[in-house]
Amino acid sequence: MASMLDAAHTTQVIDAIDGNRLFKQRKYYSVDKTTGSVCFCLSTDDVEIEDRDRRRKRSAVYDSYRDLMDNKSDPRVNNWAMMSSPFPTFFICLFYAYFVKVLGPKFMENRKPFELKRVLLYYNLFQVALSTWLFHESLAAGWGGYYSFRCQPVDYSNNPRALRMAHGCWWYYFSKFTEFFDTIFFVLRKKNSQVSRLHVIHHGVMPLSVWFGVKFSPGGHSSFFGMLNTFVHIVMYSYYFLAALGPKIQPYLWWKKYLTALQMVQFVLVILHAFQLLFIECDYPKVFVWWIGMHAVMFYFLFRDFYVQTYKKRKTAATTLVNKETEVNQGNAKQQNSEKENGKMYATEYKMATGYISDNGLRNRLKTYKNNSDELYMLDREEVITSRRKTELRKR
């Protein structure tokens, strides 16, 4: 009877232990059938096997990563600067976000803001020139008549035009780092209110996003985004250059809000252009269709929120203020008319009649009307007083 209980107890324990995958695979337990006690034991060989398995898993992950970076990417760009790994770009983007949100404002906390007027002029002029060159390269290497807007696979050959597009994509990636100075200049000038969520996300995400495009598909369908973006930046940095010239140019910069609208139109075009490949056959990686398309969706809503917050609500607030002022003015006018109708202006009329209020600050002249005549006479104050005295004497 006792042996039956021990066997049943042992079986339950073993089943419970076998439910744990780790011990089911390795059988790191021993069971005393008489007492039903369980002893977990790891021999030296078992530990070595465990460590070897862990190293093998880590090695498998690293080998998969290297295979992706070396064999699944575009071999033409593997030896280009910053293209061997995404981690340098990732850490630069992290440091950028930390600097503009924490380190930079703390550094400038007890310092006067930098002027940087001349620096801004040269910087914006440089960005206009760089964006113009990149836009020209995107047209000359493909989008000026050689690429199809419907479906454009990536040309991985060493064709001069394909290499020109690949180099243009790398320089576009590099330009995203130069745009960090947009935010850095805001911090140095202590304009922290302009370091918005949209601004930091937009500039912080773009270098890493473009890195994957250059690494795996430098050219082809998704380069449409870069072509549009460089055109928008030509307009945008031209505006910033004009704004940096000073207040004399400000009256001619009424079109500022249309820059944000242009950005949103850009993202709508990118969304339509990218997601059309989900409905047609095209030899282009679908993963980059989603990568570019979802980035455009995210940025569209971020810019839309910024547009509503900056322009729509500001316009509504201004309209409300004007309406309130109009209501106040109308109320004051009604009150004055009501007072006149109720005869509450007798004090002023009395002063005018007695000469205490003079015309244009002169107390020696008085305007008055004769009841028996339609003409206006200007009478001396003494004549009015004399006439009143004669009237009083006659009544006596």
pLDDT tens, position by position, 335-389: 655 555 554 444 444 444 444 444 444 344 434 334 433 333 344 444 545 556 6
SS3 (DSSP) at 280? coil
Window from 55-64, 129-138, 296-305 with minimum mean pLDDT? 55-64
Looking from the CA of 355 toward its CB, the CA atoms found within 13 Å total 12
pLDDT for the residue numbered 350: 44
Is residue 202 part of the annotated active site? The answer reads yes
Window from 15-19, 161-165, 376-380 with minimum mean pLDDT? 376-380
d(CA 268, CA 299): 10
pLDDT band at 20 (very low <50, low <70, confident <90, very high): very low
Mean pLDDT of 100-119: 94
User: What contacts 24+ positions apart, CB below 8 Å, involve 163-168?
Assistant: 163/76, 164/137, 164/140, 165/137, 165/138, 165/141, 165/218, 165/219, 165/223, 166/74, 166/76, 166/77, 166/214, 166/218, 166/219, 167/137, 168/134, 168/137, 168/138, 168/141, 168/226
Window from 41-50, 110-119, 232-241 with minimum mean pLDDT? 41-50
User: Across the chain, what does the average pLDDT equal?
Assistant: 78
Residue 20 Cα distances to 23, 30, 51, 369, angstroms? 6, 15, 19, 113
pLDDT for the residue numbered 193: 87
| Closest-CA residue to 218 (of 167, 267, 178) | 167
Mean pLDDT of 167-173: 97
Who wins on pLDDT, 354 or 195?
Answer: 195
- In tens, the pLDDT along 243-298 reads 999 888 888 898 888 998 999 999 999 999 999 999 999 999 999 999 999 999 99
Who wins on pLDDT, 303 or 91?
Answer: 91
pLDDT band at 392 (very low <50, low <70, confident <90, very high): low
Alpha carbon dihedral 102, 103, 104, 109, in 10-degree steps, equals: 80
Give yes or no for residue 315 having a pLDDT over 70.
no
Asked if 155 and 220 touch (Cβ cutoff 8 Å), the reply is yes
pLDDT for the residue numbered 235: 96
- In tens, the pLDDT along 36-65 reads 565 555 555 555 666 676 777 777 888 888
The structure's pTM equals 0.67
d(CA 85, CA 215): 9
Mean pLDDT of 205-228: 95
Give yes or no for residue 207 having a pLDDT over 90.
yes
Among the listed residues 9, 199, 202, 233, the single catalytic one is 202
pLDDT band at 7 (very low <50, low <70, confident <90, very high): very low
d(CA 209, CA 297): 14
pLDDT for the residue numbered 246: 87
Give yes or no for residue 114 having a pLDDT over 70.
yes
Give yes or no for residue 4 having a pLDDT over 90.
no
Share of the chain above pLDDT 90, in %: 51
